[in-house]
Amino acid sequence: MDTLSILFSDEMKTVEALLSKNISSGIALIPDLSHYLLDAGGKRIRPLLTLACAGLMGYEGELHYPLAAAVECIHTATLLHDDVVDQAEERRGKASARLVWGNSANVLVGDFLFSRAFQLMVETKTLKVLEILARASSRIAEGEVLQLLSLKNLTMTEEHYFNIIERKTAELFAAACEVTGYLAQKPQDTCDHLRRLGLHLGLAFQLQDDLLDYTAAGGSLGKTIGKDFLEGKVTWPWLTLYQRVSPSEKTWMQGLMDNEDQRPSALPQMIQLMHSHTVVSDMESLVIHHTQRAEEALHALAGPKAIHDAFGDILQSLAHRQH
């Protein structure tokens, strides 16, 4: 995201100020907990997409700022609720907010941020924007429920897995891009291209994230190798490997799902199997497939060359991300 971040660093400051303003409350716990998470070095990918797409659209108003802030508020709210669901102990390299303030505070402050997101959206006074983001929120919640129901489901189909990640991750990426088309009053096909850009970027991002859980080179960005695996979370690498291994290895993998304690020592062998069964290389191809589809959508859009190039950089680095 580097080139794009630099290109929009001034605009992002406006978004950060709006975020700070909107998480303020007479009840200190609310900004305290929100800032704890927001200031922990999140990459602000989603609001950055909103700013960048507004730039592509040549949008000259001010309403993309509350929109970008709303998108980050929705994302932050889902992180807070996710951490309760996952009983997460760590987030962005430090103790999760729920460990500091408790699960109840996480749930309620998440609700507050979610409401604030809607207040920010309403500021755009653009019904189509509200419609898209309200729908996106429903789909995100469905994705989270689906993920909850799919824990330890080793026979999950690839389609089912994509249904989860499209909703829980790619949907907000897609909406963050799409809404700028309506804000700038562009024709339907432009809005559709924006949506596709965000959707495939989001899918590539999530697939890469799931793969890096097994292959990340280091602990940068708070990403710990094997985190999903150690929590027994079934992602594409796991379910694809499971389909490809021998019956006795299947039994071994099932055993790992049932016995948390055995997972740490099994991680190296899991990674080795993923390489030997070409799970890693197949997944890299899948990431590249989605970055290419995002690229196609990008090419169908007009806009300043500098922003196009910066998007191109993101897609390139996503396809070759090592951490």
Shortest separation between residue 62's beta carbon and a copy of itself, angstroms:
17
Q: One-letter amino acid identity for 292?
A: Q
Establish if 122 lies at the interface with a copy of itself (CB under 8 A). yes
For the range 104-107, what are the long-range contacts, defined as Cβ-Cβ under 8 Å and sequence gap of 24 or more? 105/29, 105/33, 106/33, 106/80, 106/81, 107/80, 107/81
Establish if 130 lies at the interface with a copy of itself (CB under 8 A). yes
| Beta carbon nearer to a copy of itself, 149 or 302 | 149
Q: One-letter amino acid identity for 140?
A: I
CA–CA dist 220, 106 (Å, integer): 25
CA–CA dist 237, 114 (Å, integer): 32
Tell me the two tokens of residue 101.
């303030």
Q: Which stretch binds a copy of itself (CB under 8 A): 144-152, 216-224, 254-262, 309-317?
A: 144-152
Residue of 59, 65, 114, 173 interacting with a copy of itself (CB under 8 A): 114
Residue of 6, 17, 95, 134 interacting with a copy of itself (CB under 8 A): 134
94 - beta bridge partners? 91
- Contact flags string 72-101 toward a copy of itself, x per CB under 8 A: ------x--x--xx----------------
Q: Which stretch binds a copy of itself (CB under 8 A): 27-35, 88-96, 255-263, 297-305?
A: 27-35
Place of tokens 């429903």: 138
CA–CA dist 190, 188 (Å, integer): 5
- Contact flags string 177-206 toward a copy of itself, x per CB under 8 A: ------------------------------
User: Roughly how many angstroms between the first and final C-alpha of the chain, as a whole number?
Assistant: 13
Residue of 2, 89, 90, 131 interacting with a copy of itself (CB under 8 A): 131
Shortest separation between residue 234's beta carbon and a copy of itself, angstroms:
16
Residue of 1, 99, 107, 221 interacting with a copy of itself (CB under 8 A): 107
Establish if 109 lies at the interface with a copy of itself (CB under 8 A). yes
Establish if 103 lies at the interface with a copy of itself (CB under 8 A). yes
Q: Which of 132, 218, 119, 223 is nearest to 173 (CA)?
A: 132
CA–CA dist 255, 250 (Å, integer): 9
Residue of 3, 14, 94, 118 interacting with a copy of itself (CB under 8 A): 118
The four Cα atoms 241, 242, 247, 250 give a dihedral, to 10 degrees, of 120
Number of residues located near a copy of itself, criterion CB under 8 A = 41
Distances (CA, A) of 119 to 19, 34, 125: 12, 17, 10
* Residues engaged in binding a copy of itself (CB under 8 A): 25-27, 29-30, 78, 81, 84-85, 103-105, 107-112, 114-116, 118-119, 121-122, 125, 127, 130-131, 134-135, 137-138, 140-142, 144-146, 148-149
